[in-house]
């Protein structure tokens, strides 16, 4: 199944669901993540995509999980066109299972979640709340309740295969609008308590629409177009070259003397190499500016 996201509405309720198995696997491969890191990064990237689906076309957002656990900072950038990129500071973390599950909460630790919304030319807006459990979904739900004062429910899940690859990943995000009916919310809450976890729903073959059909069983739902999702980093050799220019002549001369430079993109782990000739050319470009 390809990665995708679907939007839906029920009376007084807005909902989004996503299947993200392939892009989480791409992130795992790019960053060489151990299972608990794949789970934490995969949940954060999926959460960022679900929140970004609620933005206007030219907007984007960054979710930053800043905990004191062994994983260090986790960052994901997502846009409403379905693109996402992300990284975890320490992808090589191994912790014992907790009740048979990956201990994402302990790997993240306590700290804060920061969500920054980029709205075109205007100043970006960042909101923060304390982490509730470090399990990511609960932390995003708490952020939405406190910072945006919208009753929400977020579920995120990543299943890891015995060979440590990504078996299934996905999530959903539900928001109650001010005109939501009490009966519908009670029905929804009952469903949410009884449903299998979202990662198991994906693993059993449900697509994003199927996930929301399960969550909204017994309620009328309208579905909208499906959006393709992908891991996509905006870095390029040209951008890295501009970054090198911004370091200044002294730094470039030192690099040229060393014979080579390697710049690694945090977000996608792509490595850009520059040899002496290339560095000298960049230095020349800087000096003629």
235 near Zn ion, judged by CB under 5 A: yes
Which lies closer to Zn ion via its Cβ, residue 158 or residue 233?
A: 233
265 near Zn ion, judged by CB under 5 A: yes
Which lies closer to Zn ion via its Cβ, residue 233 or residue 252?
A: 233
Least distance (Å) from Zn ion to the CB of residue 193? Answer: 40
Least distance (Å) from Zn ion to the CB of residue 136? Answer: 22
Residue from 209, 208, 226, 267 nearest 84 by CA: 267
Which lies closer to Zn ion via its Cβ, residue 27 or residue 156?
A: 27
267 near Zn ion, judged by CB under 5 A: yes
Both structure tokens of 77:
């950038």
76 near Zn ion, judged by CB under 5 A: no
Q: Which helix (H) or strand (E) covers residue 171, if one does?
A: strand 166-176
Say how many residues touch Zn ion, by CB under 5 A: 6
Binding mask of the shown chain, residues 187 to 226, with x at each position contacting Zn ion by CB under 5 A: ----------------------------------------
- Class of residue 99 by CB neighbours under 10 A (exposed 0-12, middle 13-18, buried 19+): exposed
| Residues 6 or more apart in contact with residue 72 via CB below 8 angstroms | 88, 89, 90
Residue from 118, 160, 115, 163 nearest 136 by CA: 115
Least distance (Å) from Zn ion to the CB of residue 5? Answer: 22
**Cα 8 to Cα 63, 213, 226, distances in angstroms:** 23, 10, 10
* Contacting residue, 23, 233, 282, 283, with Zn ion by CB under 5 A: 233
Q: Which residues bind Zn ion (CB under 5 A)?
A: 233, 235, 265, 267-268, 270
């Amino acid at each position: 199944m390809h990665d995708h996201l679907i939007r839906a509405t029920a009376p007084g309720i807005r909902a989004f669901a996503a299947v993200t198995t392939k892009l989480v696997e791409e992130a795992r491969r790019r960053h060489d993540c151990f299972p608990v890191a794949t789970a934490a990064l995969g949940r954060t990237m999926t959460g960022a995509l679900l929140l970004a689906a609620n933005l206007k076309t030219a907007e984007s957002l960054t979710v930053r999980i800043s905990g004191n656990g062994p994983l260090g900072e986790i960052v994901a950038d997502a846009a409403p066109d379905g693109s996402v990129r992300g990284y975890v500071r320490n992808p090589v973390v191994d912790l014992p299972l907790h009740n048979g599950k990956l201990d994402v909460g302990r790997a993240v630790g306590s700290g804060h979640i920061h969500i920054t919304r980029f709205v075109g030319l205007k100043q970006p807006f960042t909101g923060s709340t304390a982490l509730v459990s470090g399990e990511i979904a609960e932390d995003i739900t708490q952020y939405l309740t406190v910072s945006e004062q919208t009753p929400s429910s977020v579920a995120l899940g990543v299943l890891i295969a015995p060979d440590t690859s990504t078996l299934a990943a996905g999530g959903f995000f539900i928001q109650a609008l001010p005109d939501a009916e009490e009966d519908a919310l009670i029905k929804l809450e009952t469903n949410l308590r009884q449903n299998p976890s979202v990662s198991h729903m994906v693993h059993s073959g449900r697509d994003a629409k199927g996930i929301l059909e399960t969550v909204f069983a017994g309620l009328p739902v309208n579905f909208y177009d499906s959006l393709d999702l992908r891991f996509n980093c905006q870095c390029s050799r040209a951008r890295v070259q501009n970054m090198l220019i911004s370091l200044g002549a002294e730094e470039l001369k030192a690099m040229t003397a060393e014979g080579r430079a390697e710049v690694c993109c945090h977000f996608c782990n792509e490595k850009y190499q520059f040899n002496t000739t290339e560095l000298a050319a960049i230095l020349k470009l800087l000096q003629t500016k």
